[in-house]
Amino acid sequence: MSVYKLTAIQHGLEATAGTAVPATFKWAGEGELEFEDHVEQPAYMTNEAGYTVEDTFVSATGSTLRLKDTEASAEILAYLCNMGVKAAVGPASTFAFTFPTTAVNTLRYFTWELATSVQEYEFAYGFAESFSIHGDTMANNGRVQLNAIIKGRKAAASTLTASLGFVANHQPLNLNNATIKFDAVGTAAGTAAATSGYLRGFSMDVKTGWSAGMYADGRSALDFAVAEGGGGGYEITGNLKCLLSATGVTEIANSRAGTGRVVQIALNGTASRLVKLNLPLIYTAAPQIGGTVENGLIMVSFPFKAGYARTVTAAGPEINITTSSLLTIT
C-alpha cells in the first residue's frame, strides 16, 4: 500500500453508483490518499532461497481518502452526511439526516479527484466510512472542525476537472455561537431552554455502518462491488466537556445512575445557518472531578454513546441542517 500527500481534492455526485463523473467542487481541506493494493507472495515452495519476486500478484484493490480536520459549515456537512448518513440531495434549505432506526438508509456516492505534485488520480463510488465533528471554545478560536475517512474503488491516473470553486456559502461554524439543551428521554430534542455557561467543548465520532462489500460481481479491478450495511450498524460516541456547575452536578448524577438523556447541540451561523446535533444518549462513564482546570474553573468530561430512544417520542440520532439558501447536492 502507498500513501500520497495531496495538493488538490475535488468531488462530484454520481448519477449511478460507481460510474465516475467530473468533479463539481473543491473540498475545503487537506487529505491523504492510500492505495489499498494488496500484493501477495505465493505460499508454494520454489526450491529457491530468499524472496521470489516474479510470482507476486494483486489480490484486492481499493482506495482510502483521509480528510483531515477542516472548518465545518452547514453546507459542507450536508455533503458529508449524504456520503455517510442518508441520501438527501435537495434542492432544499433544510436537511434532516436521521440515522437508521427501524429501517436502513440509502446513500449518495461521489467521484473523488485528487492531485499530487506529479500525478492526478480519481476513484469512484466514494462513501464515508466514518467522520468526526468536534469543537472547543479554547481551541481554534472556537471554530468547529470535521474530518472523515472516505472509501472508494481502485484509484486510476486521471486529470483534474479544471476551474472549480468551493461549495457556495461555506461559512465555518463556531462553538462560541452554539447552545446546548437537555431533555428527558421521551421528550423531543430541543424542547428545554438552552443551558448557558456550561458547554466548553464537544466531540461526536461516527462509524457510519457502511462498508465495502466484496462479491463475485465480475470486478476485474478486484475492488468492492457495492457499499453495504445500510447504516444499520452505526456507532456514535463522543464527549461533552462542561463546567462543573449546578447543571454539571445534575448531569453527574444522571451519569452515575445510568439515566438516558436527549441532548441537542445547536451550532448557529448567520443568515439562517443552523446545524442541530440531536442525540439521545447515555453517559458511558461518570466524569473525574479536578483533573481539568481552565482559567481556575473545574471542567468535567462526559463520554457518551448515542442511539435510538423508543420511549414515547421515538427518535434516533439526527444531524439537522439549515443552510443559508436553497442547496442542491451535485
pLDDT in tens, 90-145: 999 999 999 999 889 999 999 999 999 899 999 999 999 999 999 999 999 999 99
Taking CA atoms, 250 is separated from 207, 242, 247, 295, 300, in Å, by: 29, 12, 5, 22, 12
Q: Where are the alpha helices (DSSP H) in 27-138?
A: 74-84
Other CB atoms within 10 Å distance of the CB of residue 40: 11
**Partner residues linked to 252 by β-bridges:** none
Averaged pLDDT, groups of 10, the chain, 330 residues long: 79 98 97 94 77 84 98 97 97 97 94 95 98 96 97 97 95 96 95 96 98 96 96 96 95 96 96 95 93 92 95 88 96
- Model confidence, pTM: 0.94
The number of folded domains in the chain is 1
Grid cell digits, residue 277: 446535533
Q: What is the pLDDT of residue 42?
A: 77
Give per-residue pLDDT as tens, 234-254: 999 999 999 999 999 999 999
Extended beta strands in 116-177, E state:
120-136, 145-152, 156-157
Q: Which domain holds residue 21?
A: 2-44+51-327
- What does the DSSP 8-state code read for residue 322? E
**Partner residues linked to 166 by β-bridges:** 26
Q: How far apart are CA 139 and CA 260, in angstroms?
A: 29
CA-nearest of 19, 201, 206 to 97 is 206
Contacts of 120 (CB under 8 A, 6+ apart): 8, 113, 114, 157, 158, 159, 160
Q: What is the pLDDT of residue 215?
A: 96
